[in-house]
Amino acid sequence: MMDNILARFSANVILGVSWIIAWQHILYANEIPGDGFTAGILMLVTLMLWYSVLGYRMASKKIPDKIFHICLGAGAFFLWVLMLLPIFLLPDGRLLQSFTVPFFGRGFSSTLFFDLAIFMMVGGGTLTFLVSSQEVEP
């Protein structure tokens, strides 16, 4: 853990900002291809920085490791569902649907869920691997 308060403050701020940017990427997933993956990697890199600054012991108190396992599992589950639906269930083999949110006025498509699942799986999977490599100091 870095004792420098400025480093810790900066890490927390960057984490918050990148969280917002990641969600912006996901919510605008309709507009740019591959945003779920970008958002996942962005959060991942920021979290790694955050872990380096705070140290594993303190960071894992704030964000328990279990959350990453859940993210990995949930992301994989959603991806499986999204992939298997068009293969096995939908009449014309197509899952894609677009819709407009009432009052909000923005158009969304079902790829949003795909991007969200990719975000959870990439982020959750890689962080599961990375935090599992950490040794807790005695």
Partner 1 sequence: MMDALEVTSAAHRLWLVSFLLPFATGIGLALWPRRWDSVAKNLALPALSLSALALTASLVLLPANGDFATIWRQTWIPALGLDLLIARDGLSAMFAILVSWIAVTVVLFARRYLPHANDHEHSQRSESAFYALMCLFTGSMLGVVSAGNLLQLYLFWEATGLASYMLIGYWAHHAEAREGAFRAWAITVAGGVAMLVGFLLLGTNMNHWSLSALVNGNAPNGILLEITTILILIGALAKSAQFPFSSWLPGAMIAPTPVSAFLHSSALVAAGVYLIARFFPLLHTAVAWEYLLVVPGVAGVAYIGLLAVRQTKIKALLAYSTISQYAFMFIGFGLATVTGVKAALYAFFVHSFIKAGLFLVAGSVTYLTGLKELDQVGGMGRTHKVLAVGGFLLGLSLGGVPIMGGFYYKEELLYAAMENRSWVLFGAMLLGGLFSLLYMLRFLNQIFFGPGDDGVGMPLPRTMAAPMILLAGAALLTSLFPNWMNTQIINPAIAGTLRHPEPMAVELEFSFILFASLLVISLGLVLWIFWKRGHVPYKLWTRIPLHFHMGGNYAVKAYFGLSRMALSVHGGSLGFYLRWVLGILVVKTAIVWYLAPFPEAYPSAIPWLGESTLLLAGVCVLSVASLFLKHHLALAMLLSVLGFMLSGVFVLMKAPNVAIAQVLVETLATVSIVLALILSTKVDPIKSTMEFEGMRNLKKWGIALGVGVILGAGTYFAGGAFPDNGVGPELANLSLSVAKPDFVAAILTDFRSLDTVIEIVIFGTATMAAAGLFWKRKRAR
Whether residue 112 contacts residue 29, with contact meaning beta carbons closer than 8 Å, is answered with yes
Q: Which residue type is seen at 124?
A: G
Block residue for tokens 């005695």:
138
Judged by beta carbon, residue 5 or residue 133, the one nearer partner 1 is 133
* Candidate list 13, 17, 58, 83; residue touching partner 1; CB under 8 A: 83
Q: How many helices (H) and strands (E) does the chain have?
A: 5, 2
In angstroms, the CA 137 to CA 43 distance is 25
Phi, psi of 40 (to 5 degrees): -60, -50
Is residue 135 part of the contact set for partner 1 (CB under 8 A)? yes
Is residue 110 part of the contact set for partner 1 (CB under 8 A)? yes
Judged by beta carbon, residue 17 or residue 32, the one nearer partner 1 is 32
Block residue for tokens 């920021």:
46
Is residue 97 part of the contact set for partner 1 (CB under 8 A)? yes
* Candidate list 42, 53, 59, 120; residue touching partner 1; CB under 8 A: 42
Residues near partner 1, by CB under 8 A: 29-38, 41-42, 44-45, 48, 72, 76, 79-80, 82-84, 86-89, 91-98, 107, 109-111, 114-115, 121, 125-126, 128-130, 132-133, 135
